[in-house]
Structure 1
Amino acid sequence: MKNLLILLTIMVLSTAALAKETSPWEQKLPFKEAIISYKISGTQTGSSTLYLKDYGKTSALFRNATTKIMGMSNQESTLNITTREWVYSIDLNDKTGMKQVNPEKYLIEEFNKLSAADQKKVAANVEEFGISFVAGMDGQVEKNAKKILGYNCDKITMMGTTVYSISGIGLPLKTKSNMMGMKFKEKATEIKKTSVPADKFMVPAGVKIKYSSESDEVARNQAKMIIQSLLEDKQLNPEMDSNQPPEQQDDQQKAPAGMEEQMKSMMKMFGG
């Protein structure tokens, strides 16, 4: 849920889309299929590649990076797959991974239960909450602040991190962070609008996936609380994270720390 609070600030960037689409989860990327390459620099160095299809509803992020701190280095190779139903977080070095329900699935279900008037209210409150949260964290939002690879990007600066995302969509193309002496930068270097091989979205052979059915019920309950809070003009409770099964919390702490994947995971909570 702490991630959700930051997510809502990203949702400020999607005001125009919210007004036009059926729900906050029906936003589409400006391309049906694409491959986006990123360069990672700073305390971490390396690269990542984001594969997209279904206008972003299905994605796979391959990430290879090395972190160097105080003369010590750690190499990570990860894969994060997101479909309409599931989210997979995989360590390619250890050949292990975690599978959990895509929170978007339950959020859509709860949203669709609302009347048209209540749906409109929830969408409006997402925006209002995001604006107030940014202000409360001494953050700033700037619309159409910069053009990256031909796309206008909105800018959010908060808690030592600056994110440039495609305007009205929330897909990060550039992220900069400077926290506790650790500098991080991840920038898109190329966007190819091309078909993506189906195997990019498959769990690699030999990877052992762990799944906890408890996480499904937790996600369903959180979706209900989120929608109800937005409907009642209540701020979301950051302590909702504590309701997660212990093993899921441990796995999330071990998940890749890349800002691109972190932002993407957060966006999935509200369909960006």
Structure 2
Amino acid sequence: MRKDYAVFLTLVAFFVFAPMLENIKPLYSSTPMKRYKVKSGIIEYKVTGMQKGTETLYFDNWGMLEAKYTQTELSIMGMKQQTNTMTLLDGEWTYTVDFKSNTGTKMKTPLFEELSKNAENQDLTDVGKKMMQDMGGKKTGMEEVAGKMCEVWEIQSMQAKTWVWNGVTLKNMVDMGGINMSSVATSAQFNVPVPKEKLSMPEGITFREMQNPMQDKMFPGNMFK
């Protein structure tokens, strides 16, 4: 069940899964690809369910440079765990930062190479729709979230729904195998200036490089054929 949940979150976030960096510096990607149909944005989300809290998403370069800041509290079996993290996507690489421990991970962005090959004549939002369909997802309607009319996609096998506007997820809900969580945009600004420091690595974080063990399991090689 948790593997299926991870697959869904990969689809929703589209890419995002996450040496010592001594100074704050922006990580701007030179790739011309587009994850979203809007150049930049700042979105605030309310998280409810097993996890409660907030998320803030900042992106530029059509989504190829993106940072998500998460502050939540997970309640399970009477135990609580707080999270204060950042996930930074910079094209080919994805970084995660745990602000509580000042540690982080660095890994190749899942599916980046495969998606790059298959996006020669289309932007990645179109590839993303095909991925959703290949996972059994269906477009079930249109609904407004944070002032934007979104496509509603549902994957019944995962009991998951996601609301997407121009490639950007504004709402998602999962209720599967004891996992219950939703994330809903409470405000969304697009094509606005994004502070560079929000898309930069913080100082004093110790990184270790990792491999994504789930990529081959999640998406077989013939998915794009």
* TM-score, with structure 1 as normaliser: 0.60
> What does residue range 53-64 of structure 1 map to in structure 2 within 5 Å?
53-64=60-71
Counterpart of 1:46 in structure 2 is: 53
Q: Which among 109, 130, 133 is matched to residue 131 of structure 1?
A: 133
Question: Runs of at least 4 residues of structure 1 off by over 4 A?
Answer: 1-11, 123-130
For the 8 Å contact 1:100–1:211, the answer to whether it is kept is: yes
In structure 2, runs of 5+ residues without a counterpart are 15-32
For the 8 Å contact 2:115–2:127, the answer to whether it is kept is: no
Q: Which among 25, 34, 37 is matched to residue 26 of structure 1?
A: 34
1:230-259 deviations in whole A, cap 9, x for unaligned? 56x4xxxxxxxxxxxxxxxxxxxxxxxxxx
Distance (Å, rounded) in 1 between the aligned partners of 2:9 and 2:181: 18
1:64-86 deviations in whole A, cap 9, x for unaligned? 00011222111011100001231
Q: Which among 208, 211, 222 is matched to residue 210 of structure 1?
A: 208
In structure 1, runs of 5+ residues without a counterpart are 12-24, 234-272
Q: Which among 94, 105, 111 is matched to residue 101 of structure 2?
A: 94
Matching of residue 174 in structure 1 with residue 176 in structure 2: no
* TM-score, with structure 2 as normaliser: 0.71
For the 8 Å contact 2:41–2:59, the answer to whether it is kept is: yes
For the 8 Å contact 2:134–2:223, the answer to whether it is kept is: no
Matching of residue 149 in structure 1 with residue 146 in structure 2: yes
Larger helix fraction of residues: 1
> What does residue range 227-238 of structure 1 map to in structure 2 within 5 Å?
229-230=222-223, 233=225
**SS of 1:107 mapped into structure 2:** helix
Letter in 2 for 1:74: Q
1:111-164 deviations in whole A, cap 9, x for unaligned? 48xxx8xx68xx999866743531xxxx54224x20112322111222122111
Distance 1:102 1:157, change over 3 A: same
**SS of 1:106 mapped into structure 2:** helix
**SS of 1:93 mapped into structure 2:** coil
Distance (Å, rounded) in 2 between the aligned partners of 1:57 and 1:69: 34
Counterpart of 1:20 in structure 2 is: none
Distance 1:210 1:55, change over 3 A: same
For the 8 Å contact 1:125–1:230, the answer to whether it is kept is: no
Counterpart of 1:258 in structure 2 is: none
Distance 1:102 1:39, change over 3 A: same
Identical aligned residues as a percent = 22
Distance (Å, rounded) in 2 between the aligned partners of 1:71 and 1:9: 29
**SS of 1:175 mapped into structure 2:** strand
Number of residues paired by the alignment?
A: 196
Q: Give 1:195 deviation, angstroms.
A: 1.2
Letter in 2 for 1:204: P
For the 8 Å contact 2:34–2:62, the answer to whether it is kept is: no
Larger strand fraction of residues: 2
For the 8 Å contact 2:132–2:138, the answer to whether it is kept is: no
**RMSD value, Cα:** 3.6
Q: Give 1:107 deviation, angstroms.
A: 2.8
